[in-house]
Amino acid sequence: MDRAKALLSLARVCEGSHPWAINIDCAVFATLYPDKFSNEDSAAQYARLNWTRNLADRQWLGAIGMLQYSASLDAAMTLVPAGCLHMTRTIWDAAGKPVGLARIDKYEGSGAAMMWADGFDAVAATPALALCAAVLRARAAEVANG
Contact status, residue 9 vs residue 138, Cβ threshold 8 Å = no
Q: What is the pLDDT of residues 103-131, one digit of tens each?
A: 999 999 888 888 999 999 999 999 999 99
Band (pLDDT 50/70/90 cuts) for residue 46 is low
Residues in the chain, overall count: 146
Task: Mention every residue, 6+ apart, whose C-beta is less than 8 A from residue 25.
Answer: 51, 61, 66, 67, 68, 69, 70, 71
pLDDT tens-digit series, residues 132-144:
999 999 999 999 8
**Phi/psi of residue 107, each to 5°?**
-120, 150
Residue 15 has pLDDT above 80, yes or no: yes
Residue 115 to residue 126: CA distance in whole angstroms: 29
Smallest CA-to-CA distance from 22 within 45, 47, 42 is with 47
Question: What local confidence, expressed as pLDDT, does residue 8 receive?
Answer: 92
pLDDT at 55: 53
What does pLDDT average to over the chain?
Answer: 82
Summarize pLDDT for 60-76 with one digit per residue, the tens. Answer: 666 667 788 888 899 99
Among 16, 132, 22, 6, which residue's Cα sits nearest to residue 78? 132
Q: Is the pTM of this model over 0.85?
A: no
- The pLDDT value given to residue 56: 56
Domain ranges of the chain: 3-145
